[in-house]
Structure 1
Amino acid sequence: MPLDDAPATRVPLADVTPAIALGPLDGRYRPAVAPLVDHLSEAALNRARVEVEVEWVIHLTSHAVVPGAPELAPDEQQYLRDVVATFGADEVAELAEIERTTVHDVKAVEYFLKRRLAAAPDALRADTVLPRVNELVHFALTSEDVNNLSYALMVRGAVSQVWFPAAVELADEVAALAAEHAAVPMLALTHGQPATPTTLGKELAVLAHRLRRQLRRIASDEYLGKLNGATGTYGAHLAAVPDADWQVVSRTFVEHLGLTWNPLTTQIESHDWQAELYADVARYNRVLHNLATDVWTYISRGVFTQIPVAGATGSSTMPHKVNPIRFENAEANLEISCALLDTLASTLVTSRLQRDLTDSTTQRNIGPAFGHSLLAIDNVRRGLRALSVDTAMLARELDANWEVLGEAVQSAMRAASVAGVAGMDNPYERLKELTRGQRLTADDMRAFVDSLGLPQDVTERLRNLSPGSYTGLAASLVAHLE
């Protein structure tokens, strides 16, 4: 059958109602990422545009920027802000209908808001001045004035209200696991080989510390905005109202929105703040990816056992399996998120001369970038909650690797040599000969220690040492997370 000939009897899935999602974030994984819709969807973008336009009208009238413009009464300001507050399914549909005519999304928002001003006498009161400020909607603005502020508000809301709290909760849960298992000894593996023992808690604390450091960077990131016209010169502003201090008007408006004012731009806000934020979020993702792969390895090694979910299937053919699917899913989602964030960060910092439109399409993928990260966070949190530590296995593994005490013994010999004890020559080489590629028992190690001629107190200290107690300050280091 030719590749382009689908069976005629097939139901076209594109015509099914309700509509079937093309991507997994709006389909299979919708429950985990739904909160981002309120901030990073197309509807959220249009609502943010309406908010910027509304606040601009209020700002112009409140500060008497345009001569002859009436000052809005409190109920009139509230009427305008209610347009934003009540923005929902009907308004989304209305804007879509207007845009089919304008073929321009920001112009559709302008016309949408002007309809609300025209309807104000019927909805509010007959003598309202709102119809008179009709031409202050989108006054002296370019679409990018609206869009850059809208995206800054959207991304700030998505980060502060959805992504960041989830990321913090995950880091806190890892920190809590670290505290719980601070003193649980564990054989370390460097280069995949048995190495100086550590504690499970200390290793988890390293990851929690790394995650929290990235969160501190993200918490300090700025969200910039600009309002200065078609090429960043305030040309239209001065032409219309030459006596206004437009830089002050612009700065105070951007700061009123809770953003940092960018005084020097082309037509677009330069998006550097976005690149900085996305790089930091991607770095958090990569640390979390490291956590996912480490935990996966610990599960494979037997450090963690997974608590089976009643009724769940691990393998379609092997009924004994409980697969680490949460951590594997997290890996994949983090990789997709980082790929998108890296692309956003590298693309958005470049604009051809005073303006190109590559950012228009690029920024519409901010939602998927954060969505896959948020989904990964959910994956890992659910995976961590289904883990149990096999302390008996850890003890067996440690007891099978007495050769890891070679480091401790040769270090004690070095210290004794410096103190003037005879017979401590070539400590590293002697321990290497004894231990490299060998499996030693407790008796083997203690016999070697007894043969060295170390001072009695040092001999006793080393004889009392075991792989399970050779963890240094690991347990107490977890306190650095507090």
Structure 2
Amino acid sequence: MQLTQILPAIALTSLDGRYHKQTVPLVEYLSEPALNRERITVEIEWMILLANGFDGNGNRPVLEGIKPLTDAEIRYLRSIPEVFGAEGIARHAAYEAKTHHDVKAVEYYIDDELDRASSVLVANTQLPNLKTLVHFACTSEDINNLANARCVKKAITLVWLPKARELTDFLASKAEEFKDLPMLALTHGQPATPTTLGKELAVFVHRLNRQLKHIGNQEYLGKINGATGTFGAHTVACPNADWLAISREFVTNRMGLTWNPLTTQIESHDWQAELYGTISHTNRILHNLAVDIWMYISRGVFAQVPVKGATGSSTMPHKVNPIRFENAEANLELSCSFLDTLASTLVESRWQRDLTDSTTQRNIGAALGYSLLALDNLLGGLKSIHPNFDVIARELDENWEVLGEPIQTAMRAQEFAGRKGMERPYEKVKELMRGKSISKADIETFIDSLDFDEATAARLKELTPQTYTGLAARLVGFDRQ
């Protein structure tokens, strides 16, 4: 049996196969049928504007000889993309097989629906006679750029961004929960000034929120201006219409996008480069988070909750592997590779038009799909771990040498205050502590050997690795205060 003969067809990529459940929400907006549905919407709304809209000079309609569409006719037209389903997808595909042109297939599909209008509406509806209004003065890219922008905008605002915010909000709740939990920090992999677990999580919350704010404020640009962006055919056919005003009205108010008045045949895609660059940056922050959590688990700072019935290794029964974080790492890397290619490729086009952007944009779903999959795994992984309080406490108890920093800094302040014997504080503390195992008693003996004032000496003696966390707890959520 050849796998290619099995029906329904086996998915080629993991996004549509193994991971379909996690990525399926994007099908609604970034699949080929979703794009065609949006193309139909753009074509229909352009028809409605030309028939019932304004021409920029207060004259209605834009084209002479067209009666204003009735409410029933408008409802019928808008129902065409709304009911675009399995039968419509197959019919569009049949047209594309003949025309070898996806947008022309959309035009013919709408023509069919206009013919059907007489059987649905009153017999004297004008819709069957409006086929020449479909795609009027448009180049394919007038339709494609608007449809793509609307698809991407919906995918980001309705699927990707809510998932990213869900993860960030969960991380923020854990940062708040553990803001007072002291933890040994490691710089260059070596014991360093203690922090709190909550503060370290809050660093990622702060970084992610900055990027999500940029994404939430992203502009989505669109254009409708003809074959080379000059409104050439428009002005010849209807010279009295204000096509700049019509274009602005359609893109801004009918399509919900930001109007781009200056383009070649294609919308320049700069907004896409901006968006994908920011999401790629966000992915890399998430990658940093996944790696850090993986290492915290390896170190024992986090313990994993075993899943009943799950297997960590085919040969080592004891293992609980951090597979969600590893999965997130790999998929974030894949997403970044797609996004970086999209961002760099889409901003270039040979002279007024080439087709490199067309095939490239068909991978937007994959780029966001890998990122969405990573977000799902990261969130699931974060929900399946908890701090290992014993390990965290033991690490702090075993590293009293981290108090060398506050002691030598206090010595500097004491020297300025005129206390004797405080010179060369860094060197003195270094001689005491570097490369040695230090105890609480060693710290107290060293403090007693110096001429600290009573308040400073008492403050230093009260200090422990557990309490030496500075303002870490206050920093959690500081950017939201």
* Counterpart Cα distance in 1 of 2:245 and 2:479: 44
**Correspondence for 2:56:** none
Structure 1: runs of 5 or more not aligned: 1-10
Does the 8 Å contact 1:278/1:344 carry over to 2? yes
Residue 263 of structure 1 aligns with an amino acid whose one-letter code is: P
**Correspondence for 2:125:** 128
Does residue 272 (structure 1) correspond to residue 270 (structure 2)? The answer is yes
**Correspondence for 2:240:** 243
CA drift of 1:384 comes to 0.5
**Correspondence for 1:468:** 466
* Counterpart Cα distance in 1 of 2:64 and 2:191: 79
**Correspondence for 2:77:** 80
Alignment of 1:7-406 (within 5 A): 11-63=1-53, 64-255=61-252, 256-406=254-404
Partner SS state of residue 469, structure 1: coil
Partner SS state of residue 175, structure 1: helix
**Deviation sequence 1:88-110 (CA, Å, 0-9, x none):** 11100010011111111000000
**Deviation sequence 1:351-400 (CA, Å, 0-9, x none):** 00000000011000000000000000000000001001111111110010
Residue 45 of structure 2 aligns with an amino acid whose one-letter code is: E
**Deviation sequence 1:272-298 (CA, Å, 0-9, x none):** 000000001111111111110000010
CA drift of 1:428 comes to 0.4
**Deviation sequence 1:11-63 (CA, Å, 0-9, x none):** 11011111110000000000001000000000101001000000000010112
TM-score, structure 1 normalization: 0.97
* Counterpart Cα distance in 2 of 1:124 and 1:324: 60
* Counterpart Cα distance in 2 of 1:166 and 1:242: 48
CA drift of 1:238 comes to 1.0
* Counterpart Cα distance in 1 of 2:188 and 2:406: 19
Residue 432 of structure 2 is aligned with which of 427, 431, 434?
Answer: 434
**Deviation sequence 1:121-166 (CA, Å, 0-9, x none):** 1122211111122111000000000000000000000000000000
Identity across matched positions, percent? 60
**Correspondence for 1:458:** 456
CA drift of 1:177 comes to 0.5
**Deviation sequence 1:183-233 (CA, Å, 0-9, x none):** 000000011110000000000000011111100000111000000000001
* Counterpart Cα distance in 1 of 2:177 and 2:4: 50
* Counterpart Cα distance in 2 of 1:140 and 1:391: 69
CA drift of 1:69 comes to 1.5
Structure 2: runs of 5 or more not aligned: 54-60
TM-score, structure 2 normalization: 0.97
Task: Return structure 1 stretches of 4+ with deviation > 3 angstroms.
Answer: none
Partner SS state of residue 158, structure 1: helix
Does the 8 Å contact 1:70/1:133 carry over to 2? no
* Counterpart Cα distance in 2 of 1:352 and 1:50: 28
* Counterpart Cα distance in 2 of 1:156 and 1:401: 51
**Correspondence for 2:57:** none
* Counterpart Cα distance in 2 of 1:450 and 1:125: 100
* Counterpart Cα distance in 2 of 1:299 and 1:449: 36
* Counterpart Cα distance in 1 of 2:439 and 2:213: 46
Partner SS state of residue 187, structure 1: strand
* Counterpart Cα distance in 1 of 2:22 and 2:67: 47
Partner SS state of residue 305, structure 1: strand
Partner SS state of residue 52, structure 1: helix
Partner SS state of residue 408, structure 1: helix
CA drift of 1:479 comes to 2.9
Residue 375 of structure 2 aligns with an amino acid whose one-letter code is: I
CA drift of 1:119 comes to 1.1
Greater mean deviation of Cα atoms: 57-66 or 104-113 = 57-66
CA drift of 1:481 comes to 4.9
* Counterpart Cα distance in 2 of 1:363 and 1:292: 28
Does the 8 Å contact 1:48/1:150 carry over to 2? yes
CA drift of 1:118 comes to 1.1
Residue 135 of structure 2 aligns with an amino acid whose one-letter code is: H
Partner SS state of residue 290, structure 1: helix
* Counterpart Cα distance in 1 of 2:478 and 2:78: 46
* Counterpart Cα distance in 2 of 1:69 and 1:133: 8
